[in-house]
Every structure is written in C-alpha cells, then in structure tokens.
Structure 1
Amino acid sequence: MSVKVTKNRNKYLKEIDKKKYSLEEGVLFLKERTFVKFDASFDISVNLGIDVKSPNQIVRGTVQLPYGTGKNVRILALVNKEEESESKEAGADYVGLDYIEKIKSGWTNIDIIVATPSVMNKLGSVGKILGSKGLMPNTKMDTISNNPGKSIKEIKSGRISFKSDRYGIIHASVGRVSFSNQCLMDNIKEFMMIIIRNKPSTSKGVYIKSIYLSTTMSNSISLDSKIFLKI
C-alpha cells in the first residue's frame, strides 16, 4: 500500500538540503517547517564512534538542560517512610514502597524511578519488569540517591539521562518547538558538551561520527559536528 505524502510534507522534503547545517541554521530550519498541531519536541541523535561490543565503551550519564525538555516527567520515589514527605515536596508524582506491588500487577505509568540505596534490595521481585522498560534505578544515571529530594528536583527542572544503544547511537529530547531559538541552542550545546566529556578513554578514532536533529514527525537534518568541538 502506497503512503500518501501531504502537501506540507512534500514541500518539506524538497527543501531539505543534504548539507551539514550549523546549529542556528538547523534549529531555524526545523522550527519554520513544523506543521503538526501540537508543541512538537526537538530531538537529537548522536552517532558515536565506539565499539558497541565493548562494555567499557557504553556512553551513559546525565545532563542538566538549562531550559529543561518542556515535558512533565512522571517520577516514582521508592523511599522509606521518613523520606516520603521530602520526596513529595520535591515534586515526585508517586511516593512509597507500596507501589512495588502495583508494579508487580503491571503498573508502569511513570517515566523515572528514584530510589534510595537502602530500598534497592526490595526491587528484586520487579527487576525484570523495570529492566525491560528501562526504569531500574541506576547509580550512573543518578537515580539511586541518598538525597532523593535533590535528585527529584533536578530531574523536574530539566535533568535527563542518556545511554548509547546497541548501534552506538544516543537519542534524546532537548526541548520543544515553542522554545526560543536561543534556549534550544543552549540546551543542545550543553547536551553535546556532556557527551564529548563522556568519551571513553579506550575509544579510538572519530568519536562524534554524525549528529541529526529533528522534530516530532519530521525528517532529520544533519548538523556540522565540528561546531561542538569548539564548545
């Protein structure tokens, strides 16, 4: 069955240049050609020159985006009773160890779980469920914390986690079309700076192979990676 290309999409495809865009050009190009009727997200994909078969070359970490992602992140705080009030005040959407039983029943209506080290031994019964959905708390992602309130506040204010996939690519949302051009550029620069800082010491050759920027339901455009090496 053939897929019908809309008038706007057809025009967009004709306007895409195969060149590598500067950050400013790329952001402007995509913002001016977003035709969806909602506040589309700005997404980035970074193809890394890493050995995906080597465990010590997995690139992962967190970055505090200056202007956040524009998305309301749903957080579950798995903490002890004495830390529940602090977690609620920090902005957690769901709080308490009772949610472990809900997870066993199939409930995973959340984006991130923040847990304290002392409760991690209680998650064994839901480990497979959380692991399959990428929800298991992890020290490298700063979601296992002795200060859950602080972690929750940081996530709510724009901290995101990232991890290279099995193809050596990192995908992330870095804002919304409604953001100003400068806010989007600042978010992307901060994101790329952290990716570059997290280069594995054993990685050889070209580290940043390609960078693509897109919005929800748009085709991607290629960014000139050299501009980020100057940050």
Structure 2
Amino acid sequence: MKHGKKYNASAAKYDLTKKYDVASACKMVQDMKYAKFDETIECHISLRLEKNATVRDTLVFPNQFRGEKKVLVFCKGDKVKEALDAGAAFAGEEYIDKVKDGWLDFDVAVATPDMMKDVGRLGMVLGRKGLMPNPKTGTVTPNVAQAVAELKKGRTEFRADKSGIVHIAVGKCSMDSEKVVENVNTLLSEISKRKPVGTANFVSSVSVSSSMGPGVWVDYKEGE
C-alpha cells in the first residue's frame, strides 16, 4: 500500500517492525501524529476464535474522550420519568412512530423488555445505523436509570468482526498519554475476561494507531 510523504516521514521515526509495551506504543502513536485535527487513537486486537464464534460486550473507559451521548429510551408509564431523571434526552413510547418516520436525533437507544415487540419493527431503520437495543449490550433492560447513567459516562460496545478482530477507539492524541494507556489496559483486561475455557493464546496480536498515522505493535502477553 502506498502512503503519502507525511505518513512515511512519521513512520520513519521508529522501528515499526518491533513490538513495544503499551505505554511506549501509545506515546509513539501520539508522537507520530501529523494531521491538523485531533486524531482518534484506535486499538486493534486480533483474537483466536472458533468458527462462527464472536466476542461482544460493553465497557466503561476510565478516561472519557467523546462528547456526552444523547440517549433515547423506549419505555412507558413510570419508566419515562425514571429515564428522564437519569439524564435521558428522550423517553417514551411515542418515539417509535417518530423513528419510523425517519427521526434519528440521538446517539444510542435503550428499551425496556415490554417495548421490544414494537421496537423490533424498527429493525430496518435502527439496524442499519447500529442503534437497535440489544440485551447483550445492556440496552434492553428494565433498569433504565442504570443503563442511561452508564451510557452517559461513556459505556462503549466492543465486538469482534468476521475476521476475529476488535477495532475500537481508546482516546485522542491530545490526551495525556497515561490516560490513553489506562484505557488500553482496561480494554485488554475486559477482552481477556471473555477468553473461552481451554483456549490458549486467545489474543493473537495487539496494535495501536491514530486515525491517519502508522500502527504500532504492542508486546502483549495474556495474564499481564
């Protein structure tokens, strides 16, 4: 793959064929940043998964780097006030018709279990945008207050793609490097907890990079 002059000049600063500890890798990524905007730092974790297996869950990073999310809660009765009091931007059953008509002015959707029969009909709209509530990610729950609070704190979904790789943003180049390191270590810890029993070397490889810059291999060993 051909890269531009700025990318190549940035990549020439270090030996990118080697692996580095998390702290060193994150500092290198920030040092190699060359775009004028505040690039996002991404982590890519390759997993050894059985055929048709996947890893999917959520976590809350200790150090947030994104704006506060607008949360929509599909609910009715007393749950509407509970959701709004917890900080939801929108709550109620009337939003089903609004979404059906094309309204999508929210970042994440939550639903109580009794609403899923109706919310499920929005699959063509919410599914395409990755907004469909799902019990696996804690967005289908009777405890809407807890869900809203965690989402506003930055609860983030991670999942392995068809190739068994988890791609996820872990920070910004403008952040203190120590905070980025803490986020990466939190992610690695959460991924390791999903290791299937009897699986050796579950994490095949780990790398970090900025939005535009070169990737850096992380010297990661399970159990660290």
TM beyond 0.5: yes
Q: CA deviation digits over 1:96-138, x for unaligned, max 9?
A: 2222223223333433211111111111321233223322211
- The partner residue of 2:202 within 179, 183, 207 is 207
2-side partners of 1:91 and 1:220: how far apart? 37
CA separation of 1:87/1:199 partners in 2, compared to 1, >3 Å: closer, same or farther?
A: same
Please report how far the alpha carbon of residue 65 of structure 1 lies from its aligned counterpart in structure 2 after TM superposition: 1.0
**Within 5 Å, which residues of 2 pair with 1:63-142?**
63-142=59-138
CA distance in 2, matches of 1:33, 1:75: 35
Cα distance in 1, alignment partners of residues 2 and 160 from structure 2: 32
Give % identity: 29
Looking at structure 2, the residues matched to 45 and 136 of structure 1 have their Cα atoms a distance apart, in angstroms, of 24
Residue 4 of structure 2 aligns to a residue in which SS? coil
- Counterpart selection for 2:218 from 197, 200, 223: 223
Secondary structure of 2:12's partner? Answer: helix
Deviation string 1:78-100 (CA, Å, 9 cap, x unpaired) is: 12142223322323233322222
Find 2:9's aligned residue among 11, 22, 26. Answer: 11
Unaligned ranges ≥5, structure 1: none
Q: How many pairs align?
A: 223
What does the per-residue CA deviation read over 1:7-34, in whole Å, with 9 as the maximum and x for residues that have no partner?
A: x323112224211121111111111221
1:4 shift after superposition: 7.4
- SS of the equivalent of 2:20 reads coil
| Cα pair distance change 1:210/1:35, threshold 3 Å | same
Distance in 1 between the 2:223 and 2:107 partners? 32
Note the C-alpha offset of 1:3: 7.4
Residues 42 and 170 of structure 2 are in contact (CA less than 8 Å); yes or no, is this contact kept in structure 1? Answer: yes
Q: What amino acid does structure 1 have at the position aligned with 2:145?
A: G
Residue ranges of structure 2 left out of the alignment (5+ in a row): none
Once the two structures are TM-superposed, the CA of residue 69 in structure 1 deviates from its matched residue by 3.5
